[in-house]
């Protein structure tokens, strides 16, 4: 397989974006990505959209986005893998470049969630659980992740302070990220005192629904070197795995097997181990999810995620800096945009453009994007020359 | 780009399938495809689902299908391009094979539309038109295609008898297809006498919403020759193009520019012209759509589609046999399944397995799958050795 390079990245501010339609958000990210890469629109031969369609009044987004970007008649289609839809789009775009079908492809993750109210969103999200056997009986996403948290506490002694420590860190870095939805530090006491959503998860353990878009432009090696010059970041490992829709069928609830499988693929392709990852964006839809991700990705041992986080090993300067953009938790989680936004962040880290959040000299980074409750997982390894 | 071969095909009966959930329909098609190819499930390394998510109570179908097929932890994700979602899935699977990411990939188009009532479906479909500028003012799919038909009549003298002739032909062949939803011949008089839906389109000018699934298994050239032996059908041309979401922005309403662009790509890749196509499945969501497709694909000249159909040139024995499986019109149109089902039909034709519907000695076939009102078009050229 040929090498795939990233030659342009852009993302909108995340949050409540009542100022823009979903296609306008996509356009904003697209313009930023072109400007970032110094690219003309003409070089982009196809577009892949990552989004979960049912959140928008407008259905079939690829059509409305491609028209708004003035890219007709070039190919466009959408990919969906729940909250990992953006990573599915990136994977599809990379495959089309590696197949030789196109030289340069744009990936746009975009989502407007605030057109719906929270109850509608919870109901829709619940239906990403198994409708026949689970969500029909009332499971919601906070409920699922609360079960993971309870089991993790039971087996490994993880505490609510460990959970809250993730929130504190991610709000700390969110405060430093101009694109983040929440830009305020919080204390452990404040996180602990927040209202319970689904025990043991409180408000500050949960990410926020948001509007936003992100765009990444990928190219085959030759086009990347010609267009991206010395700023290219390479996608050297791309893992993808699935797991059962229903948690009923999971052998254990303290981690996500799909993460482990996807990471193994990505590490093997890139010829690295977890130890080599200098900066990572992981899927912290809930604080427990970040703790499980650290374990599943091999940043720490199974069951050690809580103490690992508490010891500030995921901060800048720690063994494995994680979510220095604030994560889903503080940056916000417009579901289709998230995987693409993670990619923008790691590219910026590998180019040394992150200012106060920069991991000095980072050359190898990772993104980890989960769909649903681990039904899908995409792990990518990124590297600069 | 490497050659992609099709080594297994299966589809369920289309129609009202209250006997099965959407994952059960997918499973049925999958088992038929494995049996058709004499394949073990283990050879399939990844799955791409083609479906429009919002028609199902169950959201994020890839998860529930992959679990039901017992294919975890292998990769799975979904593609959407409105009524061409199945073709988007096929394209994505082919790209992943050509990229070298996988040797063998399953494509499953599946859709259950009868969970919703017709009014809900019409409202959802209307939102595949431009919500900001068009569908908010009441446009529906029959309304859009009625505008195409009116304009075609105005410019070229196309008549309602020409439209009805398409329905008569497709019901004729549907009656010969055991998988078709409608298996009854109709007369021109009966078609003409049916109730008006959106003038000039009557009930028999419109395809029917349906439940159903289809599965195609694709492989790289080496795997295809090893597993498919002498039954392989090759995807030698794959075109894909887009057009504006809103018809307001279309320069003319007598054809679909996306079809012309996608066909040009597919023909160039396969090194053929329209004249070489011996059998085709085209997107006849409405009778006018089949007439426009014949023109846009180059089976007849612009404006000649009506007389071309009336002269029985699209029947078995005519210049360009079209929709010998009954088309969307009589076979039924479970939107995500349609593009994959078209592929199954053309593969069967090229293998000489279509009995009374068989084009004798067919070696080159074509599928033409449209999303929405031409926002997306996928044209594939298939060939046997």
Per-residue pLDDT reduced to its tens digit, A170-186: 999 999 999 999 999 99
Catalytic residue among B102, B103, B152, B333: B333
ipTM of the complex: 0.97
Query: Mind telling me how many Å the CA of B94 is from chain A's nearest CA?
Result: 9
C-alpha to C-alpha distance for A289 and B3, rounded to whole angstroms: 41
pLDDT score of A264 more than 80: yes
| Contact map slice: B 21-50 vs A, CB within 8 A | 21, 46
Q: Name which residue leads in pLDDT, B217 or B54.
A: B217
Determine the pLDDT at residue A149: 98
Contact call for residues A321 and A170 (beta carbons, < 8 A) = no
Confidence of residue A27 (pLDDT cuts 50, 70, 90): very high
How far is A74 from B267, CA to CA, in rounded Å?
Answer: 17
pLDDT score of A252 = 92
> Mind listing the pLDDT tens digit for each residue in B85-114?
999 999 999 999 999 999 999 999 999 998
Answer whether residue B315 shows pLDDT above 80: yes
CB-closest option in A72, A80, A258 to B243: A72
pLDDT of residue A345: 98
State whether B1 and A63 contact (CB < 8 Å): no
The pLDDT value given to residue A128: 85
pLDDT given for residue A299 in this prediction: 98
How much is the average pLDDT of B332-352?
98
Q: Read off the tokens for B311.
A: 């002269």
Confidence (pLDDT) at A119: 82
pLDDT of residue A222: 97
Average pLDDT, chain A: 96
CA A34 – CA A11 distance, rounded (Å):
11
A80 in reach of chain B (CB within 8 A)? yes
Residue A98 Cα distances to A94, A197, A218, B100, angstroms: 6, 44, 10, 8
Question: Is the confidence at residue A293, as pLDDT, over 90?
Answer: yes
How many whole angstroms separate alpha carbon A104 and alpha carbon A232? 13
Q: Tell me the percentage of chain B whose pLDDT exceeds 90.
A: 90
Q: Using alpha carbons only, give the angle A240, A102, B258 rounded to the nearest 5 degrees.
A: 105
> HEC profile for A246-281?
CHHHCCCCCCCHHHHHHHHHHHHHHCCCHHHCCEEE
Q: What is the mean pLDDT of residues B36-46?
A: 98
A312/B contact by beta carbon, under 8 A? no
Longest dimension (CA), chain B: 56
Asked if pLDDT for residue B220 goes beyond 90, the answer is yes
Of A64, A94, A245, Cβ closest to residue B67: A245
Tell me which of A103, A162, A333, A368 is the catalytic residue.
A333
Which residues, other chains included, contact A189 with Cβ-Cβ below 8 Å and sequence gap of 6+?
A: none
- Residue A333 annotated among the catalytic residues of the structure: yes
Residues A97-151: pLDDT tens digits?
Answer: 999 999 999 999 999 998 888 888 888 888 888 988 898 888 889 999 999 999 9
Chain B 336-375, residues with CB within 8 Å of chain A CB atoms:
371-372, 375
* pLDDT over threshold 80, residue B17: yes
Under the banding of pLDDT at 50, 70 and 90, the label for residue B123 is: confident
Asked which of A315-319, B43-47, B59-63, B115-119 is least confident by mean pLDDT, the reply is B115-119
Residue A301: is it exposed, middle or buried by C-beta count within 10 angstroms (0-12/13-18/19+)?
A: exposed
Per-residue pLDDT for B305 more than 90? yes
Question: Is there a contact between B243 and A73 if contact means CB atoms under 8 Å apart?
Answer: yes
Query: What b-and-e string marks burial along A98-107, b requiring 16 or more CB atoms within 10 Å of the CB?
Result: bbebbbbbbb
A133 at interface of B, judged by CB pairs closer than 8 A:
no
Q: Does A93 touch chain B (CB under 8 A)?
A: no
Give the separation between CA B35 and CA B126, rounded to whole angstroms: 38
Q: Give the separation between CA A325 and CA A170, rounded to whole angstroms.
A: 8
The pair of structure tokens assigned to B127 is 């939102």
B258: nearest CA partner in chain A:
A73
Assess whether A354 carries a catalytic annotation. no
Contact: A59, B127; criterion CB under 8 Å: yes
pLDDT average, residue stretch A11-32: 97
Q: Does B94 touch chain A (CB under 8 A)?
A: yes
Residues A212-225: what's their mean pLDDT? 98
* pLDDT tens column, B156-206: 999 999 999 999 999 999 999 999 999 999 999 999 999 999 999 999 999
> At A213, is the pLDDT very low, low, confident or very high (cuts 50, 70, 90)?
very high
Q: What's the rounded Cα separation, in Å, for the pair B217 and B42?
A: 12
| Minimum mean pLDDT range among A53-67, A141-155, B213-227, B231-245 | A53-67
pLDDT for residue B24: 97
Q: Which residue has the tokens 């595949």?
A: B128
What's chain B's average pLDDT? 96
CA A320 and chain centroid, separation: 17
- Set A83, A94, A215, A377: catalytic member: A83
User: How far is the CA of A257 from the CAs of A161, A242, A295, A297, in angstroms?
Assistant: 25, 8, 11, 10
Which residues of chain A make contact with B128, given a CB cutoff of 8 A?
59-60, 63
3 state DSSP class of B133: coil
> What residues in B contact A371, CB-CB < 8 Å?
60, 63
Convert the pLDDT of each residue in B199-211 to its tens digit.
Answer: 999 999 999 999 9
Strand partners, A367: A281, A380
- Taking the C-alpha atoms of residue B375 and residue B242, their distance in angstroms, rounded to an integer, is 5
> What per-residue confidence (pLDDT) applies to B137?
87
CA dihedral B272, B273, B274, B279 (to 10 degrees): -20
Q: Provide the pLDDT for residue A217.
A: 98
- CB-based contact, A91 to chain B, within 8 Å: yes
User: What is the pLDDT at residue B37?
Assistant: 98
For chain A, give me the number of helices (H) and strands (E)?
Answer: 13, 11
Which residues of chain A have a CB within 8 Å of the CB of B240?
46, 75, 77
Query: C-alpha angle with apex B130: B125 to B131, nearest 5 degrees?
Result: 80
Distance from CA of A80 to the nearest CA of B (A): 5
For residue B1, is pLDDT > 80? Answer: no
**Is B67 in Cβ contact with A244 (below 8 Å)?**
yes
Residue B116 has pLDDT above 90, yes or no: no
> In Å, how far is A128's CA from the nearest CA of chain B?
5
Residues in chain A: 385
User: B88–A77: do the CB atoms touch at under 8 Å?
Assistant: yes
């Amino acid at each position: 397989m040929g090498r795939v390079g990233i030659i342009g990245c852009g993302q909108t501010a995340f949050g409540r974006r009542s100022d823009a339609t979903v296609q306008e958000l996509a356009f904003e990210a697209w313009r930023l990505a072109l400007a970032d890469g110094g690219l003309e629109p003409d070089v982009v031969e196809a577009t892949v959209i990552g989004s979960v369609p049912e959140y928008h009044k407008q259905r079939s987004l690829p059509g409305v986005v491609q028209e708004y970007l003035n890219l007709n008649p070039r190919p466009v289609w959408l990919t969906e893998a729940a909250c990992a839809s953006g990573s599915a789009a990136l994977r599809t775009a990379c495959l089309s470049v590696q197949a030789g079908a196109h030289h340069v492809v744009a990936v746009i993750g975009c989502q407007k969630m605030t057109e719906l109210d929270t109850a509608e969103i919870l109901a829709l999200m619940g239906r990403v659980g198994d409708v026949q056997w689970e969500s029909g009986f009332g499971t919601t996403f906070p409920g699922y992740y609360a079960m993971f948290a309870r089991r993790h506490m039971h087996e490994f002694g993880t505490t609510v302070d460990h959970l809250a420590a993730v929130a504190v860190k991610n709000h700390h870095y969110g405060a430093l990220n101009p694109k983040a939805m929440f830009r305020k530090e919080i204390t452990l006491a404040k996180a602990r005192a927040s209202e319970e959503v689904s025990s043991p998860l409180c408000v500050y353990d949960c990410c926020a629904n948001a509007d936003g878009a992100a765009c990444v432009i990928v190219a085959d090696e030759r086009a990347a070197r010609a267009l991206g010059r010395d700023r290219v970041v390479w996608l050297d490992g791309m893992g993808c795995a699935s797991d059962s829709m229903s948690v009923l069928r999971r052998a254990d609830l303290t981690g996500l097997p799909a993460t482990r499988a996807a990471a193994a693929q990505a590490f093997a392709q890139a010829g690295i181990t977890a130890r080599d990852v200098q900066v990572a964006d992981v899927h912290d839809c809930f604080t427990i999810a970040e703790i499980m991700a650290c374990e599943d990705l091999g940043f720490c041992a199974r069951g050690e995620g809580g103490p690992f986080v508490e010891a500030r090993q995921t901060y800048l300067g720690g063994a494995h800096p994680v979510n220095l953009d604030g994560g889903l938790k503080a940056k916000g989680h417009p579901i289709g945009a998230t995987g693409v936004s993670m990619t923008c962040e790691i590219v910026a880290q590998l180019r040394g453009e992150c200012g106060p959040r920069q991991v000095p000299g980072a050359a190898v980074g990772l993104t980890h994007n989960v769909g649903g409750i681990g039904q899908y997982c995409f792990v990518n390894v990124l590297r600069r020359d």
